[in-house]
Structure 1
Amino acid sequence: MSTTKWVLDPTHSEIGFKVKHMMFTNVSGKFDTFEATVETDGDDFTTSKIEFTADTASINTGNADRDNHLRSADFFDAAEFPKTTFKAGGFVKKSGDDYTLTGELTLHGVTRTVTLDAEFGGLLQDPWGNTKAAFSINGKVNRKDWGLNWNAALETGGLLVSEDVRFAIELQFVKQ
């Protein structure tokens, strides 16, 4: 079977995350600059090789002061670690359109294996004749596992920023 290359459609993709703030509300953010490629045998994503890169300096929570703090050495240290990467083998089918995706996430100079839940949206031909594939990917990691340890104690107890980071990722790929 021939190898198929899929390139990310960044205008229809988003790398989002949520983190609890003061232990009761979520702060949402995303990376504005990222890229991903996938290679499959034919159209079989269970055989895929996936490579993803995000520019850590492109973090965007909608608040300049918070974003600058996240880029600092307290968190991502974007000057020292300008890229976040994820490399994975194929999706593993659970049932229906539900899959898992396990790969190596490198963040802040640390590489760890993570497993994420993925929903395959299917293949579709757009109005211009391009074949597209869509995925919704969700999961949770503990930011301290990658050395992102900064926090502040609250006077009422608890911490300012949760250790858990939840991903909400929407990806659309174009068959080459």
Structure 2
Amino acid sequence: MSDNKKTTWKIDTAHSEINFKVKHMMISTVTGSFEKFDGKIETSEDDFKDAHFTFYAEIDSINTNNKDRDTHLKSDDFFGAENNPELTFKSKSFDGEKIVGTITIKGVSQEITMDANYNGTAVDPYGQTKAGFEFEGSLNRKDFGLTWSAVTEAGNVVVSDKVKLIASLQYIKQ
């Protein structure tokens, strides 16, 4: 057990992104992102092995490069942004290769395990110490009440249940 003081790292939103990918009609992939998000790490170890990660994304900031689709995603058919304005994540454990935590979407919380890469720490030209991480995992959107569905005439599902999450996050040591 370390008695080192905890260090806080804040997400550098200018050098970070939170994306998702979902199959459309099972023949192509639609990529989207959350443009407004924030989060932090609290750790007392240089390798982040004891790190506690938290982040949130504003549902209203969803962007799939299609305004009609974005409006539909914000509706009660999917995220219900009016009553559930944020998606949140709180880690339980991080070992450098996997991160386990609770993700809450539309008021439903579930444990999720994602692949994790700690890409290292560096000092930028302005003297700020930064750390980079990449997280990748998937979830079933229907587990969170995002149940809207439709089927094409040919019998293909319009939106896949499986959603891939990809977060590329850079943090600034506080």
- Scaled by the length of structure 1, what TM-score is found? 0.95
- Whether 1:86 aligns to 2:89 is yes
- Between the aligned partners of 2:163 and 2:14, the Cα distance in structure 1 is 24
Q: What corresponds to 1:59 in structure 2?
A: 62
Of 11, 20, 25, which residue of structure 1 is paired with 2:23?
20
- Between the aligned partners of 2:36 and 2:23, the Cα distance in structure 1 is 23
The one-letter amino acid paired with 1:123 is: T
Structure with the higher strand share, 1 or 2: 1
Pairwise CA distance, 1:12: 0.3
The 8 Å contact of residues 84 and 108 in structure 1, kept in 2 or not, is answered as: yes
CA offset digits 1:105-127 (Å, max 9, x no partner): 00011000000001111011111
Any residues of structure 2 matched to 1:18-167 within 5 Å, and which?
18-93=21-96, 99-167=97-165
Pairwise CA distance, 1:65: 0.3
CA offset digits 1:33-59 (Å, max 9, x no partner): 100111001423110111111111110
The 8 Å contact of residues 114 and 137 in structure 2, kept in 1 or not, is answered as: yes
> Superposition RMSD on alpha carbons, in Å?
0.9
CA offset digits 1:52-82 (Å, max 9, x no partner): 1111111000110000000000000000100
2:69 is paired with a residue whose SS is helix
Pairwise CA distance, 1:153: 0.9
- The sequence identity of aligned pairs, in percent, is 46
Q: Write out the 4+ residue segments of structure 1 that deviate beyond 6 Å after TM superposition.
A: none
1:144 is paired with a residue whose SS is helix
The 8 Å contact of residues 152 and 159 in structure 1, kept in 2 or not, is answered as: yes
1:44 is paired with a residue whose SS is coil
The one-letter amino acid paired with 2:23 is: K
The 8 Å contact of residues 45 and 90 in structure 1, kept in 2 or not, is answered as: no
Number of aligned residues: 171
- Between the aligned partners of 1:9 and 1:124, the Cα distance in structure 2 is 13
5+ residue gaps in structure 1? Answer: 94-98
- Scaled by the length of structure 2, what TM-score is found? 0.96
- Between the aligned partners of 2:37 and 2:56, the Cα distance in structure 1 is 6
The one-letter amino acid paired with 1:175 is: K
Pairwise CA distance, 1:167: 1.1
